[in-house]
Amino acid sequence: MKYRSLNKKAPNTTFKDAVVRGIAPDKGLYFPESITPLSTSFFENIDDFSYEEIAFEAIKQFVTPDIPEPVLKTIIAETLSFEFPVVKVNDQISTLELFHGPTMAFKDVGARFMARCLGYFNQNNTEEVTVLVATSGDTGGAVANGFLGVKGVNVVILYPSGKVSDIQEKQLTTLKQNITALEVDGVFDDCQDMVKRAFMDEDLTSKMQLTSANSINVARWLPQMFYFFFAYKQLHKRHKDIVFSVPSGNFGNICAGMMAQQLGLPIHHFVASNNENNVVTEYLTTQLYQPKPSVQTISNAMDVGNPSNFIRIQEIYKNDFESLKSNLSSYSFSDDDTREALKELYTDFSYVADPHGAVGYLGCKAYLQTGQDAHCVFLETAHPTKFLDVVEAAINKKIDLPPQIEAVMDKEKESISITTYEDLKTVLLNTIG
């Protein structure tokens, strides 16, 4: 498969090159040159396929021949080493739990897949690749964990000092090996700015291969198609019209769902569920796309004012507003709505959600209130303990820490404090050589 840049000013390239670069030389996002739907018999017989076989069929055309088929099978098996259960909430609503991975965030899937692809591409290289990420909390842990011990790859993570939860900080700073955590004296935007500056700094990029590990990278974005297939497999016998409500920030996850639909997966409709960062909700109402500075909310992994994958969504719908609108609804909710939803899910259905999942639940309710006869699945993108304070306060109950989290809390933090871009540069230049 070849990839083209959505800015149209860079040459088409291979999967390998798209993964190693992250972003095209013209700063465009990479997009597959073609999408070939899977056969109808595949969907008719989906019950006969294992999750690993389904994932293989779904992603094969996008990654071969750069990743040979037997290698791809191994990468998939290692990526999918945990459960993806659909849990019923009521007759019309279910949740797809994506938090059973090592860091209890859905980003585990994309991060683990990408790490293994990069590891494969780099196995015979003497030169190392450095993955540079800024995190407001969740991404960093999943990326760090996914890349831990991968040969030829160094990971440098920037996080804002004092602004991530204790659990999140432990997940970032206790792994060591090829993972370096940088504690930045500043806010998330400062971390992000430093990362952007590093990618543009020729003094650095001439000396080292830097890449990103956010959903801009095709190897992190595309494997997110898998779990839409898994949910379909679990639900299709009981429900005809399946709708996915996806708590969205950079819109990578929902955009991967739309790719699954392009492959022929029978998805009836999508709901983009947003907190008060509502650019896309507004766009679907006014047809005006107006990026804004992000506002802070309790579902902070979705505090994004200019979703990077929106351009890929526009590409899927060929920039046709009506065709996008007929397949996508979007709603935006306040923190108070979210707290109420957490409480309602707990008291009415004994379900403990996290704030992001709660926004997804509200999206299902809003969509179903328009009178649609469908089954709505909201994606539960993180385990509730990752947002312990908010959840415990909303449901008025203490929740137990799962073993993955317990294990990390006892480990010792190791981080390097930095203040300026020059500090970052010094660290980066020291990690090579």
Ligand X SMILES: *Cc1c(COP(=O)(O)O)cnc(C)c1O
Nearest distance from residue 142's CB to ligand X, in Å?
Answer: 8
Interface residue with ligand X among 135, 253, 274, 275 (CB under 6 A) is 253
Q: Please, are residues 422 and 394 in contact by the beta-carbon 8 Å criterion?
A: no
Query: Where does this chain touch ligand X (CB under 6 A) — which range of 13-21, 123-131, 247-255, 261-269?
Result: 247-255
Examine residue 269 and tell whether it contacts ligand X (CB under 6 A): no
Peptide bond into 65 cis (omega under 30): yes
Residues 196-215 close enough to bind ligand X by CB under 6 A: 215
Q: Which stretch binds ligand X (CB under 6 A): 18-26, 187-195, 200-208, 251-259?
A: 251-259
| Paired tokens of 112 | 């683990």
User: Among residue numbers 280 through 309, which ones bind ligand X (CB under 6 A)?
Assistant: 301-302
Alpha carbon distances (Å) from 397 to 95, 342, 392: 21, 12, 5
107 is catalytic: yes
Which of residues 54, 105, 179, 395 is near ligand X by CB under 6 A? 105
Tell me how far apart the alpha carbons of residues 248 and 192 are, in angstroms, rounded to a whole number.
19
Tell me which of 9, 88, 107, 398 is the catalytic residue.
107
Which residue from 215, 311, 255, 307 is spatially nearest to 7, judged by alpha carbons? 311
Burial code of 191-209, b = ≥16 C-beta within 10 A, e = fewer?
Answer: bbbbbeebeebeebeeebb
Residue whose CB is less far from ligand X, 182 or 301: 301
Which residue is associated with the tokens 């950079």? 250
Nearest approach, Cβ of residue 94 and ligand X (Å): 18
381 binds ligand X (CB under 6 A): yes
Binding mask 132-161 for ligand X (x = CB under 6 A): ------x-----------------------
Distance CA 24, CA 383 (A): 34
Q: How far is the CB of 337 from ligand X (least distance, A)?
A: 16
Q: Does 356 bind ligand X (CB under 6 A)?
A: yes
Burial of residue 397 (CB within 10 Å: 0-12, 13-18, 19+) is exposed
Q: Cβ neighbours of residue 120 under 8 Å, at least 6 residues apart?
A: 67, 71, 75
Q: Does 107 bind ligand X (CB under 6 A)?
A: yes
Q: Which of residues 16-75 bind ligand X (CB under 6 A)?
A: none
Say whether residue 249 binds ligand X (CB under 6 A): yes
DSSP 153-222: EEEEEEEETT-S-HHHHHHHHS--TTEEEEEESS-HHHHHHHHHHHHH-HHHHTTSEEE--STTSHHHHG
In whole angstroms, the minimum distance from the beta carbon of 274 to ligand X comes to 9
The three-class DSSP label of residue 242 is strand
| Minimum CB distance to ligand X, residue 379 (Å) | 8
Stretch that binds ligand X, among 124-132, 181-189, 203-211, 246-254 (CB under 6 A): 246-254
Q: State in angstroms the smallest separation of the CB of 200 from ligand X.
A: 23
Residue 223 touching ligand X (CB under 6 A): no
Q: Is 108 in the site for ligand X (CB under 6 A)?
A: no
Nearer to ligand X, 173 or 215 (CB): 215
Chain-centre distance of CA 289, in angstroms?
22
Q: Are 228 and 265 in contact (CB under 8 A)?
A: yes
Query: Which are the catalytic amino acids?
Result: 107
Task: Kindly list the residues in this chain that would bind ligand X in the complex (CB under 6 A).
Answer: 105, 107, 138, 215, 247-253, 301-302, 356, 381-382
